[in-house]
Amino acid sequence: MKQHIDLNSDMGECFGPWIIGDGVDDAIMKLISSCNIAAGFHASDPSIMRHSVANALENGVEIGVHPGFRDLVGFGRRHIVANPTELTNDCLYQLGALREFVHFLGGKLHHFKPHGSLYIHASKDRAFSEELISTLHKIDPHLPLYCMQGTITHQVAQELKQPFVREFYGDRDYGEDGQLVMVRRARAYTPEEVANKVLQACKEGTVQTVTGKVIEVDFDSVCIHSDTPGALSLISATKKLLEEHGIAIQKPTIHHP
């Protein structure tokens, strides 16, 4: 059973006057220990980035950059065919943009976490994971990468000795291979469903797949997306249930290969 766990969520995923999800980022930020801030390609803009960074710093939340495919219309959940160097360049561009706001406001970038289809693409594509992680290692060999246990991203991070944090997803379904079942739009979950799923994972190290099979999972951080319907209730219920069972919410354990 875990004694503590990081609780992370994606922040700043709006654009100009358009609000994605329930528009509850400010409230969610008070409940989590780390956040992943969109950097303009799948969502966000400079003003939203600055507000999100300021909000995180005010609440003592660790800040990560959340780069995605260049896909505002599809919210970064459509796969874009591009070579590893082009995709890595896109990631660097987004990292630089957000990091400047973090530095300007007196903070420090804590981690790097790809968004949506880019996250899934990296988890399955060795050439991209190698290009991306070798580049991150050159820029900052101490910058943790959020990824899932057993993916190609996780394997390459270990091989190239880049720090990493392994994730579990409370508001996504799992296949029997231990990976996420990717969808364009998340289904509705009840707060009890998500909270109990996360509690089971933290206490027993298991999750039930879409086929009903129970598989083992290992992780350092729990992600619940801010654009999932009812996200504030999902995160609030999860935090409450974990703390009732003696599991503290705090910044993640970072693995240093």
Mean pLDDT of 127-146: 98
Specify whether the CB–CB gap between 31 and 222 falls below 8 A.
Answer: no
Please check the confidence at residue 243 and state whether its pLDDT lies above 90: yes
Mean pLDDT of 52-66: 98
How much of the chain, in percent, has pLDDT values that exceed 90? 93
In terms of DSSP H, where are the helices of 19-58?
A: 25-28, 46-58
Residue 246: pLDDT band with limits 50, 70, 90 = very high
pLDDT, mean over the chain: 96
State pLDDT tens for residues 144-189.
999 999 999 999 999 999 999 999 999 999 999 998 986 655 677 9
State pLDDT tens for residues 84-106.
999 999 999 999 999 999 999 99
What are residue 139's phi and psi, to 5 degrees? Answer: -70, -50
18 burial type by CB count under 10 A (0-12 exposed, 13-18 middle, 19+ buried): exposed
In CATH terms, 4-249 corresponds, of 3.20.20.370, 1.25.50.10, 3.30.70.260, 3.40.50.150, to: 3.20.20.370
Give domain limits for the chain. 4-249
Q: What is the pLDDT of residue 234?
A: 98
Residue 22: pLDDT band with limits 50, 70, 90 = confident
Q: What is the pLDDT of residue 181?
A: 84
Predicted TM-score (pTM) of the model is 0.95
CA 250, 191, 146, 5 dihedral sign is positive
Contacts of 70 (CB under 8 A, 6+ apart): 41, 42, 80, 90
Please check the confidence at residue 190 and state whether its pLDDT lies above 70: yes
Q: What is the pLDDT of residue 184?
A: 57
More reliable by pLDDT, 242 or 19 = 242
Q: Residue 92: which of 124, 152, 140 has the closest Cα?
A: 140
The span from the CA of 253 to the CA of 247, in Å, is 14
Specify whether the CB–CB gap between 97 and 49 falls below 8 A.
Answer: yes
